[in-house]
Chain A
Amino acid sequence: MKLDVHDLLLLAPLLLSAATAVAVMLAIAFKRHHPTAALIAALGMGAALASAVWLIPGDAAGAVTGLVFVDDIALLFMALTALTTLGCVLLLAAYLDGYPGLREEAYILLCVAATGAMVLMASAHLAAVFIGLELLSVPLYGLIAYTRNHLPALEAGIKYLVLSATASAVSLFGIALLYADSGTLSLLALGERAPDSPLVLLGTGLLLVGIAFKLSLAPLHLWTPDVYQGAPAPVGAFLATVAKVAVFVLLLRLLVAIPPALTANFQQLFLGLALLSILVGNLLALTQTNLKRLLGYSSIAHFGYLLLAVVAKVPAGLEAILVYLVVYTTATLGAFAVLAALSRAGNERDLDRIEDLRGLFWRRPAMAAIFVLTMLSLAGIPMTAGFIGKFTLFAVGVQAKLWLLLAVMLIGSAIGVFYYLRVAVALFRRVEGASPPEPGGVAHWASGLVMAASGALTLGLGLYPQPVFDLVGHLLG
């Protein structure tokens, strides 16, 4: 097997992201300097983003080795990954500022995880799938427990380690079963040859269990709230956006590749997962007082909504998924960015309770306005990107005549409105009695940048979404 320049070029986002991890590592070996490490990581991710964007309009798509297939959709999501990771790098830089422990290694872990996400998005081979999953998950164990003197973070890290490893093992077993029956791990070959045998069904099922776990679809969601709560806010942002989007893109690839995954049985399974996720996510979010937990439950519900487009099996479904993933990422990143900007790694805990944010509008109007915007976007209120996402999903649901799922989605959205607005109102309320723990000083410019960007995107896409549709339409041909 040989790689030529064209192949390397196609892999550029992936390679740049991996190289960034190495570069940060070398820089640390040379001299420990937090801003430098953060800058290298940010530049590297910027370069990965630029390369992906540069590659998108071309028709360069193609297989690179048997493991990876880089097409336009993969490039779009690589760009999204690089951009989101860049945001997380900036948030981390602000968050770790002044942290007494080791700070620089966080960027290595983050870049490795981003690389894993990119591998997943472009995987054409079950070996690549597994490598990608692990490359994504293993650094996350470290990142979640990064502030390791902080007990909840440590607990979250270990919880994620144990459960995620179990899920990976289940997936691996599924992959093994698929191999046992078909004798190949290539998705392309599987698509052509996989017989509709019990072993393939079981293998696909197990593989999907692993994926459902990473997407925290109910009933495999139990890890989500604890891990989100314990993880440092910038890592939570990564978990809720890049980690989930990558796995969802993988799911799309598997659905296309493995014929049994599209049979009626699996459709029923997805329908069930969607219904459960929407109801469980929204109902459990109702009583939360911790915003990270709330966002965790809300992400469960949002991925339930997304499954609607998977179940629909209409041409517009893929478009809706792409649009929704972009929209969801923007809003979720924005929400976590505000939480991250309010917190510091050295503090006793992140400011992540609804009470902590009470009256934020009167202390930090811009920050509060952005947070309200992201909440409204997650609730799907017009003028925000979230509404456009919900609208496209509804359109798909109507085209596919999925009335039950639409009804549940409607109920879920109504419940969602309740808890998102509860948070939004808290930001405007006057603080009575003792003032909440005030975050020190002005927000770091780095997290300010991320907040401003996600806020602007959320509003911009809500008011004029056509560019996204143009882009997605172009990619889907």
Chain B
Amino acid sequence: MVLAWLILIPLIGGLLAWPAERFGAAAPRWIALLSMLLVLGIAASLWPLGHYGQGLATGGEPWQLELQVPWIPRFGIDFHLAIDGLSLSMVILTALIGVLAVGCSWRETGGRVGLFQLNLLWVLAGVLGVFLAIDLFLFFFFWEMMLVPTFFLIALWGHRGSRRERGIAAATKFFIYTQISGLLLLLAIIGLVYAHHELTGQLTFDYDALRTTSLPDGLEYLLMLGFLAAFVVKLPVVPFHSWLPDAHAEAPTAGSVDLAGLLLKTAAYGLLRFSLPLFPEASQQIAPLMMALGLVSIVYGALLAFAQHDLKRLIAYTSISHMGFVVIGIYAGSIEALQGVVVQMVAHALSAAGLFILAGSLYGRLGTRDLREMGGLWSKLPILPGVSLFFAAATLGMPGTGNFIGEFLILMGSYPAAPLLTALATGGLVLASVYALTLIHRVYYGPEGPRPVVAAVSPREVAMFAILIALSVWVGLHPQLVMDTSADTIHRVRDLYLFAAPATGVQAP
């Protein structure tokens, strides 16, 4: 029941926040903040349950906590939630980013606060549901559930500087991309379930049951593509990415933080949790292609980030670049690479959230996000330049930050599987330094921009940056905690993916 509360609290909090608007703008914000803090507390209290890092859980129960209630027996659908190390890491991350998303929207929205917080909390509830559901129908349910509030966040509270029509267009683009790919996912899920039904006579959407289905090769490949469609669009991998910069450019800061910090991670999680274990052989077959696309994403994202004038679009492209590493790591499939993926997911969520909050702060002071109108701010702004430098360093993978650990592990773990590709991907780190340092240079150095500056930095902002920086450094210096927590799951995924069948495309480490 604890697991259900993790999802119910934000849902109920949202419903409370909406009418709380009448008690002033602060009420919904406090409700939202308390809801997310509560979720964070509950999630953290689940951590000791797993005895992570003590070697006790290995080989034991796959799930530390489960909740299974019949939901639609007609189709064998259960309300089935479960948590293991990987989901727990993601849940804690979600709660944390959720707190920050609420925090960074404290001043920004201006009016309609209740409805804004409702949408924000419901996105978070959907994300939490995605990380917890292990009934495929339920997973899809949450997967789609987070789209509608995200759509409204972008469409209605978008970036203040642009015309609303553009926000709606960007939101619609986001929705249609994810909706088409989501429907493919739904078809693939139904296809998998009925294939299982034909083989065993049992109609079920349960993850553990479906994982054991031995599908014919052709069908497995097709179904895997259906799953992949949803994940590569959401991640996004390069040819499917074009919704992301638009969505970020139009989204409010909190929306961007959610999008980059959490929504992208649901796709990586989906690959780890569903795509690889359910379709190991097909995934191995497509691994070379996916790793190549990952490489393309790294380079393409980095190059385009370098060319952007809009600060948020720049950060959006860096996300694409970073997610390229995640794809390579996932399909390499070795323990090091997969652990690197988890660390990278956490680290990128922190650094991207930091950068987007920074972009929001800068916009709040300058009234522009155009890099051409910035410049020479180093001495004019307190605190923010240093913070920016930190997050730029984190983005380029400086040792001491979590991003370094993530990228290093991914590259190290992928090298045995694909030496050439990994070597090329390493070049992405160089490109990352180029765009990160260019960013700092264009914002803070050079001739002063034309805009007047409002200087004061509020304690709220300082607190948010402090939390993000502290966590980022912590993950960078002591990544063992994250790795221990997810180690069990990672081993299981690796075994299912690489040893389920004679490896074809990728060599086992």
Using a CB–CB distance below 8 Å, which chain A residues touch chain B?
Answer: 376, 381-383, 387, 391, 394-395, 398-399, 406, 410-411, 413-414, 417-418, 421-422, 425, 428-429, 464-466, 469-470, 473
Bound-complex Cα distance A464 to B73 (A): 11
In the complex, A469 Cα to B72 Cα: how many Å?
Answer: 8
**Chain A residues positioned under 8 Å from B172 (CB to CB):** 418, 421-422
A425 to B153, CA, bound (A): 11
- Inter-chain contact A382/B180, CB cutoff 8 Å: no
Q: Using Cβ atoms and an 8 Å threshold, which residues of chain A touch B72?
A: 465-466, 469
Check if A417 sits within 8 Å of B179, measured CB to CB: yes
Shortest C-beta distance, B263 to chain A (Å), equals 16
Of the residues A382, A399, A410, contact of B184 by C-beta under 8 Å: A410
Also in contact, A394 and B187, with CB within 8 A (given A410-B180, A413-B179, A429-B164): yes
Q: Is the CB of A399 within 8 A of B194?
A: yes
Candidates B75, B156, B183; contact of A410 at CB < 8 Å: B183
Contact with A along B172-193 (1 / 0, CB 8 A): 1001100110011011001100
| Residue in A closest to B167 when the chains form the complex, CB atoms | A425
Q: Give the residue of B73, B144, B151 whose beta carbon is less than 8 angstroms from that of A382.
A: B144
Give the interface SS of chain B, mostly helix, strand, loop or mixed.
Answer: helix
Q: How far is the CB of A380 from chain B (nearest CB, A)?
A: 9
Question: In angstroms, how far is the closest chain A Cβ from the Cβ of B229?
Answer: 11
A-B contact pairs, 10 of them (CB 8 A): A382-B144, A391-B186, A394-B190, A398-B187, A398-B194, A417-B176, A418-B172, A422-B168, A429-B164, A464-B71
**Contact partner of B183 among A413, A422, A464, CB < 8 A?**
A413
The verdict on A414 contacting B187 (CB below 8 Å), with A376-B148, A469-B72 known, is no
> Quick one: which of B155, B156, B186, B191 has the most chain A CB within 10 A?
B186
Contacts of B156 in A (CB 8 A): 425, 428-429
Give CA–CA (A422, B194) in the complex, Å: 35
- Min C-beta distance of A139 to chain B, whole Å: 38
Distance (whole angstroms) from the CB of A361 to the closest CB of chain B: 8
A231 to chain B, nearest CB (A): 30
Q: Are A469 and B74 in contact (CB under 8 A)?
A: yes
A298 to B147, CA, bound (A): 22
Closest to B188 in A: A398
Of the candidates A394, A413, A428, A466, which one forms a contact with B152 in the assembled complex, judged by CB atoms under 8 Å apart? Answer: A428
Distance in Å from the Cβ of B21 to the closest Cβ of chain A?
10
Per the bound structure, the CA–CA distance linking A391 and B183 in Å amounts to 10
Task: Please judge, given known A-B contacts A421-B151, A428-B152, A466-B73, whether A398 and B190 are in contact too, CB under 8 Å.
Answer: yes
Smallest CB–CB gap between B227 and chain A, Å?
15
Complexed CA–CA distance, A448 and B52 (Å): 54
Nearest 7 interchain pairs by C-beta: A469-B74, A382-B144, A398-B190, A414-B180, A382-B141, A410-B183, A417-B179
Q: Please give me the residue from chain B that is nearest to A388 by CB atom.
A: B72
Q: Which residues of A contact B171 (CB under 8 A)?
A: 425
- Closest partner residue, chain B, to A409 (CB atom): B183
Closest to B18 in A: A365
Query: B157 — nearest CB in chain A belongs to which residue?
Result: A428
Q: Secondary structure at chain A's binding surface: helix, strand, loop or mixed?
A: helix
Measured CA separation A465–B179 after assembly (Å): 22
User: How many residues of B are in contact with the other chain, CB < 8 A?
Assistant: 33
Question: B47 within 8 Å of A by Cβ?
Answer: no
How far is the CB of B72 from the nearest CB of chain A, in Å? 5
Across-interface contacts of B186 in A (CB, < 8 A): 391, 394
Residues of B within 8 A of A391 (CB): 137, 186, 190
Q: For A395, A406, A422, A470, which residue has the most chain B Cβ atoms within 10 angstroms?
A: A395
**A412 vs chain B, min Cβ distance (A):** 10
The answer to whether B106 has its CB under 8 Å from any CB of chain A is no
A391 CA to B194 CA in the complex, in Å? 13
Chain B residues with CB under 8 A of A398: 187, 190-191, 194
Q: Does any Cβ of A come within 8 Å of B26's Cβ?
A: no
A414 to chain B, nearest CB (A): 5
Provide the residues of chain A in CB contact with B141, threshold 8 Å: 382-383, 387
Q: A465-B72, A466-B72 are in contact. Are A395 and B190 (CB under 8 A)?
A: yes
Q: Which residues of A contact B190 (CB under 8 A)?
A: 391, 394-395, 398
Q: How far is the CA of A425 from the CA of B149 in the complex (A)?
A: 11
Q: Decide if B37 is an interface residue (CB 8 Å cutoff).
A: no
How far apart are the CA atoms of A470 and B72 in the complex, in Å?
A: 10
Q: In the complex the two chains form, is A381's CB within 8 Å of B148's CB?
A: yes
Determine whether B363 belongs to the interface, using a CB cutoff of 8 Å to chain A: no
In contact, A425 and B176 (Cβ under 8 angstroms): no
* Set of chain B residues within 8 Å of A417, measured between Cβ atoms: 175-176, 179
Contacts of A428 in B (CB 8 A): 115, 152, 155-156
Most chain B CB inside 10 Å of its own CB: which residue of A399, A421, A422, A470? A421
List, in ascending order, chain A residues with CB within 8 A of B74's CB: 466, 469-470, 473
- Within 8 Å CB of A466, what residues of B? 71-74
Contacts of B164 in A (CB 8 A): 429
- Report if B8 contacts A (CB, 8 A): no
B292 at the interface (CB under 8 A from A): no
Q: Which residue of A lies closest to B186 (CB)?
A: A394
- How many whole Å from B360's CB to the nearest CB in chain A? 22
A376: which B residues are within 8 A, CB to CB?
148
Let me know if A382 and B140 touch, CB within 8 A.
Answer: yes
CA distance A413 to B115 in the complex (A): 27
B187: chain A residues within 8 A (beta carbon): 394, 398, 406, 410
Taking the closest CB of chain A, its distance from the CB of B81, in whole angstroms, is 16
Identify the closest chain B residue to A426 (Cβ).
B168
Is B145 interfacial (CB-CB < 8 Å)?
yes
Known: A381-B144, A417-B179. A425 touches B168 (CB 8 A): yes
Which positions 350-408 of chain B face chain A at CB distance < 8 Å? Answer: none
Partner of B176, one of A395, A418, A469, A473: A418
For the complex with contacts A414-B180, A428-B115, A428-B152, 11 further pairs of A-B residues with Cβ separation under 8 Å are A381-B144, A382-B141, A382-B144, A387-B141, A391-B186, A395-B190, A398-B187, A464-B71, A469-B72, A469-B73, A469-B74
* B176 and A414 contacting across the interface, CB-CB below 8 Å: yes
Check B184 against A383 for contact (C-beta < 8 Å): no
Shortest distance in angstroms between B173's beta carbon and chain A's nearest beta carbon?
A: 10
Smallest Cβ distance from A405 to chain B, in angstroms?
A: 12
Residues of B within 8 A of A469 (CB): 72-75
- Rounded to whole angstroms, the CA-CA distance of A333 and B234 in the bound complex is 34
Establish whether residues A414 and B145, one from each chain, have CB atoms under 8 Å apart when the complex forms. Answer: no
Q: Which residue of chain A has its CB nearest to the CB of B168?
A: A425
Bound: A309/B189 CA distance, A: 19
Q: Which residue of B lies closest to A391 (CB)?
A: B186
| Residues in B neighbouring A464, C-beta threshold 8 A | 71
Q: Which A residues are in CB contact (< 8 Å) with B183?
A: 410, 413-414
- In the complex, what distance in Å separates the CA atom of A425 from the CA atom of B172? 10
Interface string of B99-128 (1 = CB under 8 A from A): 000000000000000010000000000000
Encode contact with A along B49-84: 1 for CB under 8 Å, 0 otherwise: 000000000000000000000011111000000000
Chain B residues with Cβ under 8 A from A414's Cβ? 176, 179-180, 183
